Each structure stands twice: as C-alpha cells, then as structure tokens.
Amino acid sequence: MNEHLIVLDLDGTLLTDEKKISALTKETLLKAKEAGHQVMIATGRPYRASQLYYQELSLTTPIVNFNGALIHHPKNPMWKTIHTTVNLSVVHDVVESVHKYEYDNLIAEVMDDVYLHREDEGVLQLLHMGNPNILTGDLKNTLKEDPTSLLIQADDVNTPIIRKHLQDVHAELIEHRRWGAPFPIIEIVHKGLSKAVGIDYIAKEMGIPRERIIAFGDEDNDLEMIEYAGVGVAMSNGIDDLKSIANEITLSNNEDGIGKFLQDRLKL
C-alpha cells in the first residue's frame, strides 16, 4: 500500500479521557509505522505538553504545535523551524478590549515562557506539564515580546460573546479557536494559521499528496485539518460542526476510534 501520512490530534482524539494512549491504538500506530506509513501529531498544545506522547509512539516526524504557530522537527535540528507569533501591539489591543467582558484569566505563551494575568491554581495545573517558566502579573506590564499564542479563559456563557467580539473587531489580524474540556479556553494565534497550514508544509516536505493524508480530530481547532486531509476523520465524541464536514466518523477516543479505523483502512 502507498505511504500515507497519519495525523493525530491529542486531546479527545488520540488520548482517552484519562490522557492515555490506549493499548490497541498504540499497537496499531506502531504497526502502521512498520508498514511504511508516517505518523505525526498536530495539536494546540505546546511541545513541552506533547513530548511525552511523541516519545511514547517513538515518532521521528515533524510536529505541529500551538495550532500551527510552531512547526518543527524534534529529532532533526537541521529541519527549518517555523515559529509565527502574534504582534505584541495586537495582543495588547485584544487584552484591552476584552476587559469589558467577563473572563476568568488571560495567558500568553512565548514558546515555553508562560505569562499568567491572574494567579489561579487550576490554570497552573493545566500549564505545569513540561515545567515552563511562569510569570504572573498584568500582561500589559509583564509581556514584552510577541507571543506564540494568547489564551482567554472564560465560562461557557461568555466564551461565544468574546469570540463574536474578536471576530467583529480583530478578525483581520488573528485566528481564534475554542478548546474543549476541562477548561473553556479561546486560543488566539496569528491570522491565517491552523493545523492544516502545518500539515500542508510537512506533507509537501515528505512528498505525500493530500489524498494520502488521514487526519483525526474532535474539536473546533481541527476543522481546517479535517477539511484539508484526503480522509478527514471525526471522532464520535467530536463536535457536530466537525462531523458535518468529515469524510468519515469513527468510534470515540475511549473506544479505540483511531486504532480500529486504521486497522480497517490500512489493513493492519
């Protein structure tokens, strides 16, 4: 069978609700690699919070982090890293404009440096993976360089209100996506970025055409990726908007959805 590129979102997709890779799915992905297919991760997480799973699957491929803001190759320092930041003045404008709405916190990330607007133990637990440098204080004073991403934490009532504001006022300069559980988060990155941008770049480097890309996702930040892939697969636990554009729907992240789909599709 021709070489395929298998693209994996992490939370709600590759990972079970316990943040584990199930035995069957792991075994299937390893078999796919042995059969000559390429396996990669595309996630909204920073690399420090996805490295564990990259290593568990013994990957040797590039990875897409921060929903396309960072495209790099952990195993090959000669591979050109693409790091696209949000202009600091734009971030300050966004921060200033969302103050009139109800939100819980603001978090800016500059690679592995994290800037927390308000101290919050729950958010610190979310961010602790990979031991980032964390600085707490008003972002207008603490953030001095263009960040990789800006996160707005707000409840389910205020999240759509803030997103509408971002779309109405800042759409020409930023992209914004919603995270799912356990925290309702709006992630902001540079305009034009998505997981699909990173996958397209990597696939071309590998010489794998779109029709041989199989991508799995479940959330708002997977929409472009699922639409771009030759075979876009939504998890059954995914959002309805994603299922409506997917080529296929597989079992949930807790039911070996990825493993069972690949066993059937790639005859593993």
Tell me which residues are annotated as active site. 9
What's the CA gap between 188 and 176, in Å, rounded? 4
Closest CA to 257 of 2, 4, 12: 12
188 strand-pairing partners: 150, 176
> What tokens does 50 get?
């996805």
- Identify each DSSP E strand in 24-147 by its residue range: 38-41, 63-65, 70-72, 82-83, 105-110, 113-116, 133-136
Buried b (16+ CB within 10 A) or exposed e, 36-46: ebbbbbbbbbb
96's CB contacts (< 8 A; 6+ apart) are 140
> What tokens does 232 get?
């876009």
